[in-house]
Amino acid sequence: MPNLRRSIPSLSALATFEAAARLASFTLAAAELGVTQAAVSRQIKVLEDDLNAPLFVRAHRKVVLTPAGKALASTVTQSFAQMAEMIETIRRPNATDAVSVGATLAFSHFWILPRLSEFRALHPDIRLKLIAEDSTTDLRRDRLDVCIRYGKPPFPDANSIAHHPDQVFAVCSPALLQKLDIDRLHADITRMPLIASDNVNPAWLTWRSWAQAVGLGPALGKASDRSRLRFNHYTDTIEAALNGEGVALGWAALLANHMAQGRLVKLGPHVLTGEEAYHVLVPKGRTPSPSTQIFLDWLAKSFAMKP
């Protein structure tokens, strides 16, 4: 076996490369790793210089793996996964009455928090730690017991034990409809003020991608590009919509309470139901603690219920 310290580049550089290759973006890799995009670029450049081979083709707003990059990414991803699974097998568990739960800020705010009092009333002795962030998480790396992730299996770091599909449609406040004197069933969204969201999560829909999926054409995408109000968190987007500032993309599972209370209403007939769903995930290679299993059972039951 060759001397590992001489033949294998820095683990930090390999971890940076793995994130950039998996996300196909230096920007998203930087957000996941908690560093700057420039730091990611430097690490990749050091790795390419060490290997004397280009690993990415730098294109406008995206990066594409070269053949050498694809080969290395496959090996590094598999090796990191095997190491993580073994570490989880060996690592001693934390306190059995504590459960760390990861979710996006929107899912935590709109779905978990309104239901939290119900779980705590049933299980007051279980300690919950909610970690809300929109960047991509890794259950094994981030030491999460449970994660709710929107996507499509299989997931490299986790197993799905329950899922909940969702629908996406345009929403606004009744006050905005009254102000503009518009019927919600026949509203022309392209002529209404749109509230846009700029998210780091690639799974999140934009007005342009939603319009294309439901067959509304490019006009709505162009209208969203001209939007005078943009947010980088979905919670702020919905708060603005509630205040009558414009039309937002509404996720049915997240906004069920607002819709039921009439604070938001659906516009027009267009609804997108994608192949992806919210998944309740547990990390691979780790057996849930009794407290985690209780929380998982509660989540699975809640997912199975209608909003």
**What pLDDT, on the 0 to 100 scale, is given for residue 1?**
42
Task: Report the SS3 class of residue 164.
Answer: strand
Question: Quick one: pLDDT at residue 87?
Answer: 74
d(CA 120, CA 179): 41
- For the residues 204-209, what does the mean pLDDT come to? 84
User: What mean pLDDT, rounded, does the chain reach?
Assistant: 87
Question: Residue 198: what pLDDT?
Answer: 75
Within this chain, do residues 41 and 68 fall inside the same structural domain, yes or no? yes
269 & 282 share domain: no
Task: Please tell me the pTM assigned to this model.
Answer: 0.70
Average pLDDT over residues 289-303: 93
Task: Using alpha carbons, list the distances in angstroms from residue 182 to 110, 176, 219, 292.
Answer: 27, 9, 19, 48
pLDDT tens-place string over residues 71-125: 999 999 888 878 877 776 666 555 567 899 999 999 999 999 999 999 999 999 9
| One domain, residues 200 and 135 | no
pLDDT at 32 over 90: no
Q: From CA 119, how far away is CA 58, in angstroms rounded?
A: 48
pLDDT tens digit string along 120-148?
A: 999 999 999 999 988 777 777 778 999 99
- Structural domain containing residue 127: 98-162+276-304
CATH number of domain containing 124? 3.40.190.10
Q: Cβ–Cβ contacts within 10 Å for residue 65, how many?
A: 19
What CA–CA distance (Å, rounded) separates 182 from 193?
A: 13
Bigger pLDDT: 156 or 267? Answer: 267
Closest CA to 247 of 225, 222, 272, 267: 267
Buried/exposed 107-120: b ≥16 CB within 10 Å, e otherwise: bbbbbbeeeeeebe
281/261 same-domain check: no
Of 158, 161, 165, 143, give the one whose Cα is nearest residue 293: 161
61 and 209 fall within a common domain: no
